[in-house]
Protein backbone atom coordinates (compact mmCIF):
# COMPACT_ATOMS: atom_id res chain seq x y z
CA UNK A 1 0.00 0.00 0.00
CA UNK A 2 2.90 2.36 0.81
CA UNK A 3 4.34 1.85 -2.64
CA UNK A 4 0.94 2.40 -4.24
CA UNK A 5 0.51 5.71 -2.40
CA UNK A 6 4.09 6.71 -3.30
CA UNK A 7 3.52 5.96 -6.99
CA UNK A 8 0.24 7.88 -7.13
CA UNK A 9 1.67 10.89 -5.29
CA UNK A 10 4.78 10.89 -7.49
CA UNK A 11 2.64 10.84 -10.61
CA UNK A 12 0.44 13.71 -9.43
CA UNK A 13 3.55 15.69 -8.45
CA UNK A 14 5.09 15.10 -11.90
CA UNK A 15 1.84 16.14 -13.57
CA UNK A 16 1.66 19.37 -11.54
CA UNK A 17 5.32 20.15 -12.27
CA UNK A 18 4.83 19.54 -15.97
CA UNK A 19 1.94 22.02 -15.93
CA UNK A 20 3.93 24.51 -13.85
CA UNK A 21 6.87 24.39 -16.27
CA UNK A 22 4.60 24.91 -19.27
CA UNK A 23 2.54 27.78 -17.91
CA UNK A 24 0.69 28.32 -21.18
CA UNK A 25 -0.76 24.83 -20.82
CA UNK A 26 -1.89 25.65 -17.28
CA UNK A 27 -3.52 28.82 -18.64
CA UNK A 28 -5.06 26.83 -21.51
CA UNK A 29 -6.49 24.35 -19.02
CA UNK A 30 -7.89 27.18 -16.90
CA UNK A 31 -9.55 28.61 -20.02
CA UNK A 32 -11.03 25.23 -20.79
CA UNK A 33 -12.24 24.51 -17.26
CA UNK A 34 -15.42 26.65 -17.45
CA UNK A 35 -16.36 24.82 -20.66
CA UNK A 36 -15.64 21.48 -19.05
CA UNK A 37 -17.66 22.47 -15.98
CA UNK A 38 -20.53 23.65 -18.18
CA UNK A 39 -20.51 20.47 -20.26
CA UNK A 40 -20.37 18.42 -17.07
CA UNK A 41 -23.37 20.22 -15.56
CA UNK A 42 -25.22 20.21 -18.88
CA UNK A 43 -24.50 16.49 -19.22
CA UNK A 44 -25.78 15.96 -15.69
CA UNK A 45 -28.97 17.89 -16.53
CA UNK A 46 -29.48 15.91 -19.75
CA UNK A 47 -28.89 12.62 -17.97
CA UNK A 48 -31.36 13.48 -15.20
CA UNK A 49 -33.98 14.90 -17.58
CA UNK A 50 -33.57 11.94 -19.97
CA UNK A 51 -34.04 9.38 -17.22
CA UNK A 52 -37.08 11.18 -15.82
CA UNK A 53 -38.56 11.50 -19.33
CA UNK A 54 -38.20 7.79 -19.96
CA UNK A 55 -39.54 7.10 -16.50
CA UNK A 56 -38.69 3.89 -14.80
CA UNK A 57 -39.88 1.68 -17.64
CA UNK A 58 -37.31 -1.12 -17.57
CA UNK A 59 -37.89 -2.00 -21.21
CA UNK A 60 -36.51 1.38 -22.30
CA UNK A 61 -34.41 2.76 -19.43
CA UNK A 62 -31.97 -0.14 -19.10
CA UNK A 63 -31.25 -0.63 -22.82
CA UNK A 64 -31.06 3.13 -23.44
CA UNK A 65 -28.70 3.78 -20.51
CA UNK A 66 -26.54 0.82 -21.53
CA UNK A 67 -26.35 2.08 -25.07
CA UNK A 68 -25.29 5.57 -23.97
CA UNK A 69 -22.70 4.16 -21.56
CA UNK A 70 -21.28 1.94 -24.31
CA UNK A 71 -21.06 4.86 -26.73
CA UNK A 72 -19.28 6.98 -24.11
CA UNK A 73 -16.92 4.12 -23.28
CA UNK A 74 -16.00 3.53 -26.93
CA UNK A 75 -15.48 7.24 -27.51
CA UNK A 76 -13.06 7.41 -24.55
CA UNK A 77 -11.15 4.41 -25.81
CA UNK A 78 -10.95 5.75 -29.34
CA UNK A 79 -10.38 9.40 -28.32
CA UNK A 80 -6.61 9.34 -29.02
CA UNK A 81 -7.21 8.05 -32.53
CA UNK A 82 -10.17 10.33 -33.28
CA UNK A 83 -9.08 13.57 -31.64
CA UNK A 84 -5.37 13.06 -30.94
CA UNK A 85 -5.97 13.67 -27.24
CA UNK A 86 -6.16 10.84 -24.70
CA UNK A 87 -8.74 11.65 -22.04
CA UNK A 88 -6.72 9.85 -19.39
CA UNK A 89 -3.05 9.09 -19.21
CA UNK A 90 -1.38 5.71 -19.73
CA UNK A 91 1.93 6.74 -18.32
CA UNK A 92 5.13 5.04 -19.32
CA UNK A 93 5.81 2.37 -16.70
CA UNK A 94 9.03 1.20 -18.34
CA UNK A 95 11.04 3.34 -15.90
CA UNK A 96 9.42 1.55 -12.96
CA UNK A 97 9.84 -2.04 -14.09
CA UNK A 98 13.29 -2.57 -12.62
CA UNK A 99 11.94 -1.88 -9.13
CA UNK A 100 10.64 -4.90 -7.26
CA UNK A 101 7.05 -3.65 -7.43
CA UNK A 102 4.35 -6.13 -8.45
CA UNK A 103 2.78 -5.24 -11.79
CA UNK A 104 -0.76 -5.14 -10.27
CA UNK A 105 0.48 -2.31 -8.02
CA UNK A 106 1.65 -0.40 -11.12
CA UNK A 107 -1.77 -0.95 -12.72
CA UNK A 108 -3.61 0.17 -9.59
CA UNK A 109 -1.36 3.23 -9.31
CA UNK A 110 -2.11 4.14 -12.92
CA UNK A 111 -5.86 3.82 -12.31
CA UNK A 112 -5.76 5.82 -9.08
CA UNK A 113 -3.57 8.46 -10.73
CA UNK A 114 -6.20 8.97 -13.42
CA UNK A 115 -8.87 9.81 -10.84
CA UNK A 116 -7.63 13.39 -10.74
CA UNK A 117 -7.82 13.91 -14.50
CA UNK A 118 -10.23 16.75 -15.35
CA UNK A 119 -12.33 14.59 -17.65
CA UNK A 120 -12.78 12.00 -14.90
CA UNK A 121 -13.72 14.67 -12.36
CA UNK A 122 -16.16 16.14 -14.89
CA UNK A 123 -17.90 12.77 -15.14
CA UNK A 124 -18.72 12.73 -11.41
CA UNK A 125 -21.68 15.18 -11.55
CA UNK A 126 -23.12 13.15 -14.45
CA UNK A 127 -22.77 9.95 -12.43
CA UNK A 128 -24.48 11.66 -9.49
CA UNK A 129 -27.30 12.93 -11.74
CA UNK A 130 -27.84 9.44 -13.17
CA UNK A 131 -27.95 8.02 -9.64
CA UNK A 132 -30.37 10.71 -8.55
CA UNK A 133 -32.52 10.14 -11.61
CA UNK A 134 -32.85 6.38 -11.14
CA UNK A 135 -33.37 6.51 -7.34
CA UNK A 136 -37.01 6.15 -6.34
CA UNK A 137 -36.19 6.81 -2.68
CA UNK A 138 -33.44 8.93 -1.04
CA UNK A 139 -32.12 5.83 0.71
CA UNK A 140 -31.44 4.20 -2.67
CA UNK A 141 -29.20 7.03 -3.85
CA UNK A 142 -25.89 5.90 -2.25
CA UNK A 143 -26.24 2.44 -3.79
CA UNK A 144 -27.21 3.81 -7.17
CA UNK A 145 -24.27 6.21 -7.05
CA UNK A 146 -21.94 3.34 -6.15
CA UNK A 147 -23.18 1.47 -9.23
CA UNK A 148 -22.50 4.51 -11.43
CA UNK A 149 -19.00 4.87 -9.96
CA UNK A 150 -18.29 1.21 -10.76
CA UNK A 151 -19.09 1.95 -14.40
CA UNK A 152 -16.77 4.97 -14.29
CA UNK A 153 -13.93 2.92 -12.82
CA UNK A 154 -14.39 0.33 -15.56
CA UNK A 155 -14.28 3.13 -18.12
CA UNK A 156 -10.90 4.26 -16.77
CA UNK A 157 -9.64 0.66 -16.68
CA UNK A 158 -10.69 0.15 -20.29
CA UNK A 159 -8.94 3.35 -21.45
CA UNK A 160 -5.85 2.12 -19.64
CA UNK A 161 -5.98 -1.10 -21.67
CA UNK A 162 -6.38 0.80 -24.94
CA UNK A 163 -3.53 3.15 -23.96
CA UNK A 164 -1.29 0.17 -23.32
CA UNK A 165 -2.22 -1.41 -26.65
CA UNK A 166 -1.27 1.86 -28.39
CA UNK A 167 1.97 1.93 -26.43
CA UNK A 168 2.68 -1.69 -27.31
CA UNK A 169 2.19 -1.04 -31.00
CA UNK A 170 4.39 2.06 -30.76
CA UNK A 171 7.36 0.03 -29.53
CA UNK A 172 8.00 -1.38 -33.00
CA UNK A 173 8.81 1.56 -35.20
CA UNK A 174 7.83 0.10 -38.56
CA UNK A 175 4.65 -1.44 -37.23
CA UNK A 176 3.81 1.79 -35.45
CA UNK A 177 4.09 3.62 -38.77
CA UNK A 178 1.47 1.40 -40.37
CA UNK A 179 -0.74 1.42 -37.26
CA UNK A 180 -0.70 5.20 -36.84
CA UNK A 181 -1.61 5.64 -40.50
CA UNK A 182 -4.52 3.24 -40.23
CA UNK A 183 -5.68 4.65 -36.88
CA UNK A 184 -5.72 8.16 -38.31
CA UNK A 185 -7.97 6.79 -41.05
CA UNK A 186 -10.18 5.15 -38.42
CA UNK A 187 -10.36 8.45 -36.54
CA UNK A 188 -11.42 10.23 -39.69
CA UNK A 189 -14.05 7.61 -40.48
CA UNK A 190 -15.39 7.73 -36.92
CA UNK A 191 -15.70 11.48 -37.05
CA UNK A 192 -17.47 11.63 -40.41
CA UNK A 193 -19.89 8.72 -40.08
CA UNK A 194 -22.42 10.64 -37.92
CA UNK A 195 -22.29 13.59 -40.31
CA UNK A 196 -22.83 11.33 -43.29
CA UNK A 197 -25.79 9.66 -41.59
CA UNK A 198 -27.32 12.97 -40.52
CA UNK A 199 -26.77 14.54 -43.90
CA UNK A 200 -29.61 12.40 -45.22
CA UNK A 201 -31.87 13.47 -42.34
CA UNK A 202 -32.07 11.93 -38.88
CA UNK A 203 -34.45 9.12 -39.77
CA UNK A 204 -31.92 6.35 -40.41
CA UNK A 205 -30.17 7.16 -37.14
CA UNK A 206 -33.41 7.15 -35.17
CA UNK A 207 -34.46 3.87 -36.71
CA UNK A 208 -31.09 2.36 -35.88
CA UNK A 209 -31.26 3.60 -32.29
CA UNK A 210 -34.80 2.26 -31.81
CA UNK A 211 -33.71 -1.11 -33.09
CA UNK A 212 -30.68 -1.18 -30.79
CA UNK A 213 -32.80 -0.28 -27.76
CA UNK A 214 -35.53 -2.76 -28.67
CA UNK A 215 -33.05 -5.63 -28.88
CA UNK A 216 -31.02 -4.43 -25.85
CA UNK A 217 -27.80 -5.06 -27.73
CA UNK A 218 -25.75 -3.31 -25.03
CA UNK A 219 -26.72 -5.98 -22.49
CA UNK A 220 -23.32 -7.58 -22.93
CA UNK A 221 -21.43 -4.28 -22.80
CA UNK A 222 -19.37 -4.14 -19.60
CA UNK A 223 -19.44 -0.34 -19.79
CA UNK A 224 -23.05 -0.47 -18.61
CA UNK A 225 -23.15 -3.16 -15.96
CA UNK A 226 -22.54 -0.71 -13.11
CA UNK A 227 -25.32 1.51 -14.47
CA UNK A 228 -27.65 -1.47 -14.60
CA UNK A 229 -26.79 -2.12 -10.96
CA UNK A 230 -27.60 1.54 -10.25
CA UNK A 231 -31.03 1.23 -11.90
CA UNK A 232 -31.87 -1.85 -9.83
CA UNK A 233 -30.56 -0.15 -6.68
CA UNK A 234 -32.86 2.77 -7.44
CA UNK A 235 -35.82 0.39 -7.56
CA UNK A 236 -34.77 -1.31 -4.36
CA UNK A 237 -34.05 -4.68 -6.02
CA UNK A 238 -31.09 -5.74 -3.89
CA UNK A 239 -30.37 -9.08 -5.57
CA UNK A 240 -30.18 -7.62 -9.06
CA UNK A 241 -28.07 -4.73 -7.74
CA UNK A 242 -25.59 -7.12 -6.17
CA UNK A 243 -25.49 -9.33 -9.25
CA UNK A 244 -24.74 -6.50 -11.71
CA UNK A 245 -22.29 -4.90 -9.26
CA UNK A 246 -20.42 -8.19 -9.00
CA UNK A 247 -20.36 -8.44 -12.78
CA UNK A 248 -18.98 -4.90 -13.06
CA UNK A 249 -16.35 -5.61 -10.39
CA UNK A 250 -15.33 -8.74 -12.29
CA UNK A 251 -15.04 -6.68 -15.48
CA UNK A 252 -12.84 -4.13 -13.69
CA UNK A 253 -10.66 -6.92 -12.34
CA UNK A 254 -10.49 -8.44 -15.82
CA UNK A 255 -9.43 -5.13 -17.38
CA UNK A 256 -6.83 -4.62 -14.67
CA UNK A 257 -5.52 -8.16 -15.21
CA UNK A 258 -5.37 -7.51 -18.94
CA UNK A 259 -3.44 -4.30 -18.26
CA UNK A 260 -1.00 -6.17 -16.03
CA UNK A 261 -0.52 -8.88 -18.65
CA UNK A 262 0.00 -6.27 -21.36
CA UNK A 263 2.56 -4.41 -19.25
CA UNK A 264 4.51 -7.60 -18.67
CA UNK A 265 4.39 -8.67 -22.29
CA UNK A 266 5.06 -5.25 -23.80
CA UNK A 267 8.21 -4.62 -21.81
CA UNK A 268 9.58 -8.08 -22.33
CA UNK A 269 9.25 -7.55 -26.06
CA UNK A 270 6.64 -10.30 -26.36
CA UNK A 271 3.85 -8.13 -27.68
CA UNK A 272 3.92 -9.21 -31.32
CA UNK A 273 0.94 -8.12 -33.35
CA UNK A 274 2.45 -8.96 -36.70
CA UNK A 275 5.44 -8.45 -38.90
CA UNK A 276 5.97 -5.14 -40.58
CA UNK A 277 7.43 -5.11 -44.08
CA UNK A 278 11.11 -4.46 -44.55
CA UNK A 279 12.25 -0.94 -45.37
CA UNK A 280 12.89 -0.44 -49.04
CA UNK A 281 16.41 0.72 -49.71
CA UNK A 282 16.72 2.83 -52.80
CA UNK A 283 19.68 4.09 -54.81
CA UNK A 284 21.36 7.45 -54.47
CA UNK A 285 19.42 10.25 -52.82
CA UNK A 286 18.04 12.93 -55.08
CA UNK A 287 18.29 16.66 -54.39
CA UNK A 288 15.51 18.65 -55.96
CA UNK A 289 15.97 22.15 -54.56
CA UNK A 290 19.05 24.27 -54.01
CA UNK A 291 19.67 26.78 -51.25
CA UNK A 292 18.87 26.71 -47.56
CA UNK A 293 15.11 27.27 -47.97
CA UNK A 294 14.95 24.58 -50.67
CA UNK A 295 16.95 22.14 -48.53
CA UNK A 296 14.62 22.67 -45.58
CA UNK A 297 11.45 22.33 -47.65
CA UNK A 298 12.81 19.14 -49.22
CA UNK A 299 13.79 17.77 -45.82
CA UNK A 300 10.38 18.57 -44.30
CA UNK A 301 8.52 16.99 -47.22
CA UNK A 302 10.60 13.81 -47.07
CA UNK A 303 10.15 13.52 -43.29
CA UNK A 304 6.43 14.26 -43.54
CA UNK A 305 5.91 11.62 -46.21
CA UNK A 306 7.80 9.06 -44.12
CA UNK A 307 5.92 9.97 -40.95
CA UNK A 308 2.64 8.02 -40.90
CA UNK A 309 0.73 10.64 -38.93
CA UNK A 310 1.54 13.42 -41.39
CA UNK A 311 1.09 11.09 -44.35
CA UNK A 312 -2.37 10.26 -43.02
CA UNK A 313 -3.07 13.96 -42.56
CA UNK A 314 -2.06 14.54 -46.16
CA UNK A 315 -4.38 11.83 -47.47
CA UNK A 316 -7.21 12.95 -45.20
CA UNK A 317 -6.73 16.58 -46.21
CA UNK A 318 -7.83 15.45 -49.68
CA UNK A 319 -10.78 13.47 -48.32
CA UNK A 320 -12.07 16.05 -45.84
CA UNK A 321 -13.12 18.67 -48.42
CA UNK A 322 -14.75 15.93 -50.48
CA UNK A 323 -16.67 14.79 -47.44
CA UNK A 324 -17.90 18.30 -46.64
CA UNK A 325 -18.85 18.91 -50.23
CA UNK A 326 -20.79 15.64 -50.25
CA UNK A 327 -22.61 16.65 -47.05
CA UNK A 328 -23.49 20.07 -48.44
CA UNK A 329 -24.81 18.64 -51.71
CA UNK A 330 -27.13 16.34 -49.75
CA UNK A 331 -28.55 19.25 -47.78
CA UNK A 332 -31.64 20.93 -49.15
CA UNK A 333 -29.88 24.21 -49.88
CA UNK A 334 -27.12 22.42 -51.84
CA UNK A 335 -23.71 24.00 -52.30
CA UNK A 336 -24.35 27.72 -52.32
CA UNK A 337 -21.59 30.21 -53.21
CA UNK A 338 -21.54 31.34 -49.57
CA UNK A 339 -21.05 27.78 -48.39
CA UNK A 340 -18.13 27.24 -50.73
CA UNK A 341 -16.42 30.47 -49.67
CA UNK A 342 -17.06 29.71 -45.98
CA UNK A 343 -15.53 26.29 -46.52
CA UNK A 344 -12.52 27.91 -48.23
CA UNK A 345 -12.09 30.25 -45.23
CA UNK A 346 -12.30 27.36 -42.80
CA UNK A 347 -9.83 25.18 -44.74
CA UNK A 348 -7.32 28.03 -44.95
CA UNK A 349 -7.70 29.12 -41.33
CA UNK A 350 -7.27 25.63 -39.90
CA UNK A 351 -4.02 25.15 -41.79
CA UNK A 352 -1.81 26.46 -39.02
CA UNK A 353 0.27 24.00 -37.09
CA UNK A 354 2.94 23.81 -34.45
CA UNK A 355 5.70 23.45 -37.02
CA UNK A 356 8.53 22.80 -34.59
CA UNK A 357 6.68 19.84 -33.07
CA UNK A 358 8.03 17.57 -35.76
CA UNK A 359 11.56 18.86 -35.34
CA UNK A 360 11.79 17.65 -31.74
CA UNK A 361 15.46 17.24 -30.89
CA UNK A 362 16.27 18.14 -34.46
CA UNK A 363 15.52 21.75 -33.57
CA UNK A 364 18.94 21.99 -31.89
CA UNK A 365 20.42 20.77 -35.15
CA UNK A 366 18.42 23.25 -37.23
CA UNK A 367 19.46 26.13 -34.96
CA UNK A 368 23.09 25.08 -35.39
CA UNK A 369 23.09 25.96 -39.10
CA UNK A 370 24.12 29.46 -40.18
CA UNK A 371 20.73 30.30 -41.71
CA UNK A 372 18.71 33.48 -41.04
CA UNK A 373 15.73 32.71 -38.84
CA UNK A 374 13.16 34.20 -41.21
CA UNK A 375 14.34 31.69 -43.81
CA UNK A 376 13.72 28.86 -41.33
CA UNK A 377 10.17 30.09 -40.70
CA UNK A 378 9.38 30.68 -44.38
CA UNK A 379 10.74 27.24 -45.28
CA UNK A 380 8.56 25.64 -42.59
CA UNK A 381 5.50 27.50 -43.90
CA UNK A 382 6.27 26.61 -47.51
CA UNK A 383 6.58 22.94 -46.62
CA UNK A 384 3.25 23.12 -44.76
CA UNK A 385 1.68 24.81 -47.79
CA UNK A 386 3.04 22.14 -50.12
CA UNK A 387 1.60 19.42 -47.86
CA UNK A 388 -1.82 21.02 -47.85
CA UNK A 389 -1.88 21.89 -51.52
CA UNK A 390 -3.46 18.59 -52.70
CA UNK A 391 -6.34 18.99 -50.23
CA UNK A 392 -6.89 22.59 -51.22
CA UNK A 393 -6.79 21.68 -54.92
CA UNK A 394 -9.39 18.97 -54.31
CA UNK A 395 -11.62 21.44 -52.47
CA UNK A 396 -11.38 24.18 -55.07
CA UNK A 397 -11.70 21.77 -57.99
CA UNK A 398 -14.71 19.83 -56.74
CA UNK A 399 -16.28 22.98 -55.33
CA UNK A 400 -16.06 24.62 -58.71
CA UNK A 401 -17.49 21.51 -60.37
CA UNK A 402 -20.44 21.34 -57.98
CA UNK A 403 -20.98 25.07 -57.71
CA UNK A 404 -19.76 27.44 -60.33
CA UNK A 405 -16.43 27.92 -62.05
CA UNK A 406 -16.88 31.65 -61.58
CA UNK A 407 -16.26 31.12 -57.86
CA UNK A 408 -12.91 29.46 -58.44
CA UNK A 409 -10.68 32.60 -58.27
CA UNK A 410 -12.48 33.88 -55.15
CA UNK A 411 -12.24 30.54 -53.35
CA UNK A 412 -8.56 30.17 -54.31
CA UNK A 413 -7.77 33.71 -53.11
CA UNK A 414 -9.53 33.13 -49.79
CA UNK A 415 -7.77 29.81 -49.18
CA UNK A 416 -4.36 31.25 -50.11
CA UNK A 417 -4.84 34.41 -48.02
CA UNK A 418 -6.18 32.70 -44.90
CA UNK A 419 -3.54 29.99 -45.21
CA UNK A 420 -0.75 32.58 -45.28
CA UNK A 421 -2.13 34.32 -42.20
CA UNK A 422 -2.72 30.99 -40.44
CA UNK A 423 0.88 29.99 -41.17
CA UNK A 424 2.12 33.36 -39.91
CA UNK A 425 0.10 33.00 -36.69
CA UNK A 426 1.18 29.37 -36.35
CA UNK A 427 4.81 30.50 -36.18
CA UNK A 428 4.05 32.31 -32.93
CA UNK A 429 2.41 29.19 -31.57
CA UNK A 430 5.53 27.18 -32.51
CA UNK A 431 7.86 29.67 -30.84
CA UNK A 432 5.86 30.53 -27.73
CA UNK A 433 4.19 27.21 -26.94
CA UNK A 434 6.34 24.51 -28.47
CA UNK A 435 5.22 20.91 -28.30
CA UNK A 436 7.00 17.81 -29.52
CA UNK A 437 5.65 14.74 -31.27
CA UNK A 438 6.43 11.42 -29.62
CA UNK A 439 9.60 9.77 -30.87
CA UNK A 440 9.32 6.44 -32.69
CA UNK A 441 9.01 3.69 -30.11
CA UNK A 442 7.31 5.96 -27.55
CA UNK A 443 3.60 6.24 -26.82
CA UNK A 444 2.31 8.59 -29.55
CA UNK A 445 -0.51 9.75 -27.24
CA UNK A 446 1.58 10.22 -24.11
CA UNK A 447 3.00 13.33 -22.43
CA UNK A 448 1.69 16.61 -23.76
CA UNK A 449 -1.16 15.02 -25.74
CA UNK A 450 -2.76 13.18 -22.87
CA UNK A 451 -4.83 14.04 -19.84
CA UNK A 452 -4.96 17.64 -18.60
CA UNK A 453 -2.09 18.83 -20.81
CA UNK A 454 -3.75 17.47 -23.93
CA UNK A 455 -6.92 19.40 -23.12
CA UNK A 456 -4.87 22.55 -22.52
CA UNK A 457 -3.28 22.11 -25.96
CA UNK A 458 -6.76 21.98 -27.50
CA UNK A 459 -7.61 25.30 -25.77
CA UNK A 460 -4.45 26.92 -27.16
CA UNK A 461 -5.29 25.65 -30.64
CA UNK A 462 -8.71 27.28 -30.39
CA UNK A 463 -7.09 30.54 -29.33
CA UNK A 464 -4.78 30.61 -32.36
CA UNK A 465 -7.61 29.65 -34.70
CA UNK A 466 -9.63 32.60 -33.40
CA UNK A 467 -6.63 34.92 -33.86
CA UNK A 468 -6.23 33.72 -37.44
CA UNK A 469 -9.89 34.39 -38.22
CA UNK A 470 -9.67 37.87 -36.69
CA UNK A 471 -6.59 38.80 -38.72
CA UNK A 472 -7.88 37.29 -41.95
CA UNK A 473 -11.39 38.74 -41.63
CA UNK A 474 -10.78 41.99 -43.60
CA UNK A 475 -9.25 40.13 -46.56
CA UNK A 476 -11.89 37.43 -46.56
CA UNK A 477 -14.49 40.18 -46.46
CA UNK A 478 -12.86 41.89 -49.47
CA UNK A 479 -13.09 38.64 -51.42
CA UNK A 480 -16.75 38.13 -50.39
CA UNK A 481 -17.84 41.71 -50.98
CA UNK A 482 -18.64 41.46 -54.71
CA UNK A 483 -20.76 38.40 -54.00
CA UNK A 484 -22.63 40.26 -51.25
CA UNK A 485 -23.20 43.21 -53.58
CA UNK A 486 -24.09 40.97 -56.50
CA UNK A 487 -21.40 42.72 -58.58
CA UNK A 488 -18.98 39.92 -59.35
CA UNK A 489 -17.02 42.09 -61.77
CA UNK A 490 -15.58 43.81 -58.71
CA UNK A 491 -13.58 40.67 -58.10
CA UNK A 492 -11.06 41.95 -60.61
CA UNK A 493 -10.17 44.61 -58.07
CA UNK A 494 -10.96 43.04 -54.71
CA UNK A 495 -9.25 39.67 -55.20
CA UNK A 496 -5.76 41.07 -55.92
CA UNK A 497 -6.26 43.55 -53.08
CA UNK A 498 -7.33 40.79 -50.71
CA UNK A 499 -4.34 38.59 -51.57
CA UNK A 500 -1.87 41.48 -51.43
CA UNK A 501 -3.22 42.45 -48.00
CA UNK A 502 -2.83 38.89 -46.74
CA UNK A 503 0.75 38.76 -48.08
CA UNK A 504 1.55 42.05 -46.33
CA UNK A 505 0.16 40.77 -43.03
CA UNK A 506 2.13 37.53 -43.50
CA UNK A 507 5.34 39.51 -44.09
CA UNK A 508 4.72 41.50 -40.89
CA UNK A 509 3.95 38.34 -38.96
CA UNK A 510 7.16 36.70 -40.27
CA UNK A 511 9.29 39.73 -39.35
CA UNK A 512 7.90 39.75 -35.82
CA UNK A 513 8.17 35.98 -35.45
CA UNK A 514 11.80 35.96 -36.69
CA UNK A 515 12.75 38.60 -34.09
CA UNK A 516 10.95 36.60 -31.40
CA UNK A 517 12.63 33.42 -32.62
CA UNK A 518 16.12 34.98 -32.34
CA UNK A 519 15.37 36.15 -28.80
CA UNK A 520 13.84 32.90 -27.61
CA UNK A 521 16.12 30.39 -29.33
CA UNK A 522 17.70 28.90 -26.18
CA UNK A 523 14.39 28.82 -24.27
CA UNK A 524 12.60 27.28 -27.25
CA UNK A 525 15.18 24.54 -27.53
CA UNK A 526 14.99 23.81 -23.84
CA UNK A 527 11.20 23.57 -23.97
CA UNK A 528 11.21 21.29 -27.01
CA UNK A 529 13.68 18.94 -25.37
CA UNK A 530 11.58 18.86 -22.21
CA UNK A 531 8.37 18.28 -24.15
CA UNK A 532 9.97 15.48 -26.15
CA UNK A 533 11.31 13.82 -23.02
CA UNK A 534 7.77 13.83 -21.62
CA UNK A 535 6.18 12.56 -24.85
Partner 1 sequence: MDHVSFRVARGRFFGFLGPNGAGKSTTIKMLTGLLRPTEGEITIEGHPLERDLLAVKRVIGVLPEELPLYERLTGEEYLLFAGRMYGLSPAEARRRTDELLAFLSLEEERGKLIVDYSQGMRKKTALAAALIHSPRVLFLDEPLNGIDPVSGRVVTDLLRRLARKGVTMFFTSHVLDVAERLCDEVAIIDRGRLVAQGTLEQIRAQREVGQDASLEDVFLKLVAADVRREDLSWIG
Site string for partner 1, 395-434 (x = CB under 8 A): ----------------------------------------
Residue from 194, 202, 291, 474 in contact with partner 1 (CB under 8 A): 291
**Among residues 361, 390, 492, 504, which is the contact residue for partner 1, using CB under 8 A?**
361
Query: Do the beta carbons of residue 255 and residue 114 sit within 8 Å?
Result: no
Binding span for partner 1 by CB under 8 A among 102-110, 136-144, 409-417, 518-526: 518-526
For the CB of residue 272, give the shortest distance to partner 1 in the complex, in Å: 19
CB of 265 to partner 1, least distance (A): 24
For partner 1, the binding residue among 173, 203, 210, 215 (CB under 8 A) is: 173
Q: Any contact of residue 287 with partner 1 (CB under 8 A)?
A: yes
CA distance linking residue 66 with residue 71, whole number of Å: 9
**299 interacts with partner 1 by CB under 8 A:** yes
For the chain, how far is it from start to end, CA to CA, in angstroms?
29
CA nearest to 144, candidates 44, 238, 71: 238
Give the shortest CB-437-to-partner 1 separation in angstroms: 11
Interacting residues of 115 by C-beta distance below 8 A, sequence separation 6+: 121, 156
> Which residues face 450 on adjacent strands?
86
Q: By the 8 A CB rule, do 464 and 427 touch?
A: no
Q: Does 41 bind partner 1 (CB under 8 A)?
A: no
Shorter beta-carbon distance to partner 1: residue 29 or 437: 437
List for the chain the helix, strand, coil content (%; round to 5): 80, 0, 20
- Beta-bridge partner residues of 86: 450
State which residue, 242 or 303, has the beta carbon closest to partner 1: 303
CB of 278 to partner 1, least distance (A): 10
Give the 3-state secondary structure of 258-303.
HHHHHHHHHHCCCCCCCCCCCCCCCCCCCCCCCHHHHHHHHHHHHH
**Torsion-angle region of 91 (φ positive above 0: left; ψ -120 to 50: alpha; else: beta):** beta
Residues 267-286 interacting with partner 1 (rule: CB under 8 A)? 279, 281-285
User: Are the CB atoms for 414 and 399 separated by under 8 Å?
Assistant: no
**Distance (Å) of CA 72 to CA 66, 156, 183:** 10, 11, 19
Residue (89 or 359) nearer to partner 1, CB: 359
Angle at which helix 337-349 crosses helix 308-330, to 10 degrees, equals 160
| 521 in contact with partner 1 (CB under 8 A) | yes
Neighbours of 30 (CB within 10 A): 11
Q: By rule CB under 8 A, what string of x and - marks binding of each residue 315-354 to partner 1?
A: ----------------------------------------
Minimum CB separation of residue 180 from partner 1 in Å reads: 13
Q: How many residues bind partner 1 (CB under 8 A)?
A: 37
- Nearest distance, CB of residue 290 and partner 1, angstroms: 5
Binding span for partner 1 by CB under 8 A among 2-10, 124-132, 294-302, 401-409:
294-302
Residue 375's CB is within 10 A of a number of other CB atoms, namely 16
Nearer to partner 1, 91 or 373 (CB): 373
- Residue 293 CB, nearest approach to partner 1 (Å): 10
| DSSP code for 271 | -
Q: Using CB under 8 A, list all residues that contact partner 1.
A: 173, 279, 281-285, 287, 290-292, 294-296, 298-299, 302-303, 306-307, 360-365, 367-372, 439-440, 521-522, 525
Amino acid sequence: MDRLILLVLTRWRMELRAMARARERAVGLLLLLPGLLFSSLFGAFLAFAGIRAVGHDPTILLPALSLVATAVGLSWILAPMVTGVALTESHDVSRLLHFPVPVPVLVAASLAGNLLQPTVLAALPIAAAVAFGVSQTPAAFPFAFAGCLLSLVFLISATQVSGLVIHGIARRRRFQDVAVFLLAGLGFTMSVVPMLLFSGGGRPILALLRSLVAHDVALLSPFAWGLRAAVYAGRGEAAAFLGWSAAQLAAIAGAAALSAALIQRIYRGEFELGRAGAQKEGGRAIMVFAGSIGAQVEKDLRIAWRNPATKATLVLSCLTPLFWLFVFTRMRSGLSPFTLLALATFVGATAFGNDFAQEGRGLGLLLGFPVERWRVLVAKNLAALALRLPGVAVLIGTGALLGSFALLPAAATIVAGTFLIAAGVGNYSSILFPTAMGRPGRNPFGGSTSGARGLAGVALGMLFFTSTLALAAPFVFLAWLPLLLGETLWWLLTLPLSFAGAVAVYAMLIAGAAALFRRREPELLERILEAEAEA
